[in-house]
Amino acid sequence: MHEMSYIARMVELAIDVAKQSNAERIKNIVVQIGKTSGVMPYYMYKYYPEAVKGTILEGAELVCEEVPVKALCEECGAEYLPVRENNYLCPECGGRKAHIIEGKGVTLKNIVVED
């Protein structure tokens, strides 16, 4: 389960951010999960309570947002959402060379501090 290492990393990051902003209590943390990351939000939610136990994040809510995959065509520069029906090709020029610019990994988007 690689979700466990992802959630550990997100919790670590969120704690760093909380410390930097001198936050005492965190309301929630928002994590973005890319569609191609292979990470299942279900497991993120499942491991989260254990990962935050005894930290400043204990009691804060985890919010997972799924991010669709977006590609950048290297041939014409268009940004597009690859679809299987089109063999993931660029809809503008039909180009095959593209790289994924969004929806790849797992990132900490935001933490909300309780006031």
Six-digit token string for 42? 């279900």
By CB atoms closer than 10 A (0-12, 13-18, 19+), residue 95 is middle
d(CA 46, CA 21): 27
Q: What is the nearest approach in angstroms of Zn ion to the Cβ of residue 88? A: 12
Nearer to Zn ion, 85 or 115 (CB): 85
Nearer to Zn ion, 57 or 90 (CB): 90
Six-digit token string for 16? 């760093």
Q: What is the nearest approach in angstroms of Zn ion to the Cβ of residue 29? A: 36
Q: What is the nearest approach in angstroms of Zn ion to the Cβ of residue 90? A: 3
Widest CA span in the chain: 53
The residues of the shown chain that bind Zn ion, judged by CB under 5 A, are 73, 75-76, 78, 90, 92-93, 95
Nearer to Zn ion, 53 or 97 (CB): 97
